[in-house]
Amino acid sequence: MRLGPILLLLLASCAVMPDSNSSASISSSRFGTRKDGLRATLWTLRRGDLEVRLTDHGATMVSMICSNRVGERADVILGFDDVKGYESPDNQYFGCTTGRVCNRIAKGSFTLDGYTYQLATNNGPNHLHGGVVRSLDKVLWQARVGMIDNAPTATFSYTSPDGEEGYPGKLTVEVSYCLASNSELRIDYRARTDRATPVNLTNHAYWNLSGAGSATILDHELQLAASKFTPVDETLIPTGKIAPVAGTPLDFRTATTIGLRIDPLLATGTLGYDHNFVLDTNTGMHAAAVLYEPKSGRELTVLSTEPGIQFYSGNFLKGCTGKNGASYAHQSALCLETQHFPDSVNQKSFPNTVLQEGTELRSTTLLRFSTR
């Protein structure tokens, strides 16, 4: 594996790369050795109030540290202290780049150009988050880091060979994390292929704005810029319909406490919230979600170029031990995954997820942090 000159410098010295006229900086440290013997690295990007830690294992966001309304800092996403945790059975896609296709594909099967492809079925009868062994969250990405217009930036790239996890085509993927301002993290995705293949990329961070390891997210308030959602069957595959959220527990058009209406969903296949919402605007950079935690005053605003967002209320968290010995209890964190819709490759009425040779996928999600 060849390492670029900036990466070699960081690995050799754990150097700090400060910006000349601000508090922005980049530093690195070792993050442990993977099962295949390759070493993982942790990068820390700082700017203003924000500090984000990233690893090349899975192009993963390990930590996001920000202040509450009185200036007390906390890490607000779930994760592990080193790469061993991310390779363990306790990892539930914490903070990773998810793909080639995030979310679910019905029965792990789709047809392109007259050929039917069969993928792993790793979520009941369905395919989830790109596969089992070489999905994007499990591979070691190439990294390059540096200041771009005074913004600390880490860019991860990976080339998935034709046939990896059963997908057609050689896919080249790039994910860039940039502290675009003192209060914003921008995530940019790019992908190209030499053969038609489905692609749907997202980040799978688990949020608790009280601080990772806090007991619940049911006290958080959530607003989604979505008046419709995609109903699912008992295995969480969309039925193909697009339905209004009005009159259902999924109505977050105005800020609503998450625990207020969750009970009717607990006995359904979703076991809580695990739904794709159809964003009201699907062109350009548009509003997706606002998450607020009243006690700390922390607020996260999500904007994206994607047409949908999956809201997942941490229904399968089971008390595993994460960073600094914290326990991640049932529904103690949530995901807001900007994306195309689940099973889009099999749902012709949904926005297209098939990337063609000679074209480029571009997608951006902006995470804006504030207090009130």
Residue 359 φ/ψ, nearest 5 degrees: -115, 165
| Selection from 144, 136, 140 nearest residue 173 by Cα | 136
Residue of 204, 220, 275, 340 with catalytic role: 204
Tokens of 37: 């013997």
Q: Which residues, 6 or more positions from 111, have their beta carbon under 8 angstroms from its beta carbon?
A: 117
- Region of 324 please: left (phi>0), alpha (psi -120 to 50) or beta: left
Between the alpha carbon of residue 103 and those of residues 99, 163, 199, 276, the distances in Å are: 8, 19, 11, 10
Contact call for residues 306 and 223 (beta carbons, < 8 A): no
Tokens of 19: 């910006």
DSSP letter at 77 equals B
Q: With 0-12 CB in 10 A as exposed, 13-18 as middle and 19+ as buried, what is 230?
A: buried
Residue written as token pair 């749902």: 347
Question: Does 204 qualify as catalytic in the annotation?
Answer: yes
Pairing of strands 127-128, 104-105: antiparallel
Question: Does 221 qualify as catalytic in the annotation?
Answer: no
| 345/342 Cα distance (integer angstroms) | 8
| 55/361 Cα distance (integer angstroms) | 23
Q: Which residues, 6 or more positions from 328, have their beta carbon under 8 angstroms from its beta carbon?
A: 78, 206, 212, 213, 317, 319, 320, 321, 322
**Bridge partners, residue 232, by sequence:** 238
Tokens of 221: 């308030």
DSSP letter at 12 equals H
Residue of 87, 221, 337, 340 with catalytic role: 337
Residue written as token pair 């780049």: 97
For residue 136, what is the enclosing H or E element?
A: none
Which SS3 state, helix, strand or coil, does residue 55 take? Answer: strand
**Bridge partners, residue 274, by sequence:** 312
Give the residue numbers annotated as catalytic, written as ranges: 204, 337
